[in-house]
Amino acid sequence: MADIRFEAEIIEWRGPAPYLFAVIPERQVADIRYAALSESYGWGVVPVVARLGSTEFATSLFPRGGTYLLPIKVAVQRAEAVGLGDRVRVAMRVGRPDRR
């Protein structure tokens, strides 16, 4: 599957740690929903492998308000020197890390 690429602002949401997330732009949501038909764990959670800067990481998207939130792990925040309010470029693919 081709990478899904987007730019987003890092926001805070008082959910599961690490509390910082990138909101998936609306134009990407349909592609993610389609890919999630075969990849989702259930409850709307979608596994992804994402790259922010030079850091690649596995995580899961959380559904929120008609879109998804991409958790930005603390290790990624530190490695890429990003934080709340920063705009970031992300490339990701839907699926578990062991599926390429």
Domains of the chain plus CATH, in order, are: 4-94 (2.40.30.100)
Q: What is the pLDDT of residues 40-83, one digit of tens each?
A: 666 678 999 999 999 999 999 988 889 999 999 999 999 999 99
Task: Record the pTM.
Answer: 0.86
- The single-letter code of the amino acid at 31 is D
Average the pLDDT over each of 11-15, 23-27, 60-64 and give the range with the smallest value: 11-15
Quickly tell me which residue has 């740690």 as its tokens. Answer: 17
In this prediction, residue 50 carries a pLDDT of: 95
Strand-pair partners of 76? none
pLDDT at 41: 66
Length of the chain: 100
